[in-house]
Structure formats: C-alpha cells, structure tokens
Amino acid sequence: MLPKKIVLPFFAVLYTLGVSAQSTDTTFQPKNILKTMERVADWQINTWKEKGSKYPKWDWTNAACYTGMIDLSKMSKNDAYLKYLLSVGNDVNWNTGPRRTHADDYCIGQTFANLYMLYKDDKMIAKFRAQADSIVTAPHTESLEWKNRIQTREWAWCDAMFMAPTSLSYLSTATHDYKYLDIATKLWWKTYDYLYDPAEHLYFRDGSYLNKKEKNGQKIFWSRGNGWVLAGLVRVLDNMPAKYPERKKFISLYKDMAARIASLQQPDGSWHASLLDPESFPVKETSGTGFYTYALLWGLNNKILDKKTYWPVVEKAWAALESSVHPDGMLGYVQKVGASPDKVDDSSTEVYGVGAFLLTGTQLCKYVEHNGVPKNKKR
C-alpha cells in the first residue's frame, strides 16, 4: 500500500500570485515542468520494462536515476514511480552491491533510506545500516593515490561524492544517528584535500588526472565529475542540521564551486564535457548540466545564492536541458559511462542523466512556486 503523498500546489501558484497566463513563459509553468519530468521518467521505466537494464538494479548508474525518481514521486499524482522503486528494493532484497566498501555499490542506500522514511519498514535499511556501521569503524588511513584498487576501499575519485556521503547522510537522517553523517563529513574532507584544486575551485576526477592537460593546455576538469561533487554536496547539506559543526565549511565550499561553475556556462546554456576546454567537445552535455542546475537551484531555494546572479544561469540551463528531451521522453546528449570528457550527441542517453534531469525539475518547481513564473522574453 502506498503512503498518502503531499502533492505540492504547483497549479495554484498562477492564481495566488496573480500572474497572467498571457504574460508568462509556459516553459516555467509548474504543470509543464512536471509533465516533462513525467514524460522522461515514464520513458525510462518503460525502457527498463521492455528491454531490461544494461546494469544491475543496485548499480550506481541506476541508483543515480532513482534519486530523481524518489523526488518526482513526492510531487506527482502518479504512483508508478514509487511502485517501481519498491519493486527494485524487493528485487535486490534491500541489499546494496557486492563490493561492500566501494562507494559505487552503496549509492542505492540513499534510495533505501528515503523509502524507509516514507514506509518505516526496517527491512528497507537493515542491511545497509549494518554495512554503514562497518564503514564507520574502518580505519580509513590509506593514501588516495590512484593505485592498488584504492577505489574499492576509499573515496579516491570525485564521482564517489555523489555515491557515498549522500547515502550515509540520508541514513543518518532516517535513523537519527549522527555517526553516519560524521563519517561522511570526515571522508568528504579527506577526498577534498587530495582532489580539490583551490585555484580553480574544481575537483580532479582522480589522482591520475592531477598532471594531465587538455588539448588547449588547460587542466582536465570533467563536467559530470564536478557535477557529481556539487550535486552530492547539496544532498549532504540537505541532511545536515543548521548547527552542525562542519556546515559552514560545506556552505563555503558550495558557494566557491557554484560561482566557478556559473562562470563556465556556455552560450547555449549548458556545460560541455570539458569545463576548461569546451571547444574540444563543442556540444552540450546533459548529465553534468543537469547536476549543476539541480545544485544551483537548491542554493536559490535555500536562499544561499543570489537570485539576480544565479537565476539567469539556471533559466538558460533549463532551456538547454528541456530541448534535449525527445518527443517520446528520451533524454539526449548524455555522455556515456567514463572518467573524463568524451563526445556526445542527441542520441546519447544514460540513466544517470535522467536522474539529474528529474532532480533539476523538482527544484525548479519549488523555485517557481515561491518566485512566480518568469515573463516571456527572447532567449
């Protein structure tokens, strides 16, 4: 039995704000945003059902998609999204992947924690909680140098910042036990110390990229890689109490990265696969773009970022994302699985891009609900 959901009053906003339909941009009307999100999510679920998944159901690729679906389920009247997520949990017996200390394999833990908070069924988090307890007690003393399969034991690559600290943080909220948030915080800063470039306000993908260069001589900073970080950062903050000792430090990092990312937006509203050499991959890339737009909207919704500075950025970015959705709901321009910038085109799609798109849409609906639908203007 599905829980009773609170459907946000998106459709009432036009009336309560006194906004004329003729004077507003229909792209940003909540009902249209929601309709687009549902079309994208429906395409993904139908594709899974018809063709099966390319990846195991517990895999990080799918798990990143589930994060967007869980947020969509909280605002949609369609129960299909929650039903699908529950079927995934049951199919994997509420267990994460087989590599118990590999961040990728417990990315799905954040979905388990979110479902637990809806249903209060202990089986949904029991196995992940036992796994998290072992992560809490591990020594975490190894160097993050990219060798000896360090990624199976430590968060030695920037993608891990969306996979692991988020899952532990949501578990902390679900169980009211700060030890999971504490270890997420400790290990976040360990990775920061090794992979963050304070001059560029960006993360290297892993230690093997510290001295590599793009064709134009710039350092290699991968768009989706930094998207994983910025999106993971706001998801950790979403689970961090206002008076938590490290919160101000996280907010400072968020503001620095948000400003840098905004400055690298391309004229088409997107971010290309390579942040500092966009001409090497001269088309939009929607997974990085989606995660950035989600994170920037989160900052606007939480009154951390300035509306005058950042709304124009996300407005252009949403236009780039929405225009990448095919009539049947497939999201295009998503870079394939990788570790560095790569080519992409309109027919490129992956499940984690869908997750980023849905996360963005939920934050955009919240923003428009509280700030009104923007007026039409030339794009």
59, 71, 105, 159: the active-site residue: 159
DSSP 157: B
List Cβ neighbours of 248 (8 Å cut-off, separation of 6 or more). none
Q: Cα(359)–Cα(67) distance, rounded to whole angstroms?
A: 7
The residues with which 331 forms a beta bridge, in sequence order, are 325
| Gyration radius of the chain's alpha carbons | 20
Q: Give the SS3 label for residue 130.
A: helix
Q: Cα(52)–Cα(378) distance, rounded to whole angstroms?
A: 42
Whether 238 sits among the annotated catalytic residues: the reply is no
Nearest to 268 by CA among 316, 231, 205: 316
Q: Cα(335)–Cα(349) distance, rounded to whole angstroms?
A: 7
Phi first, then psi: what are they for 203, rounded to 5°? -105, 135
Tell me which residues are annotated as active site.
159
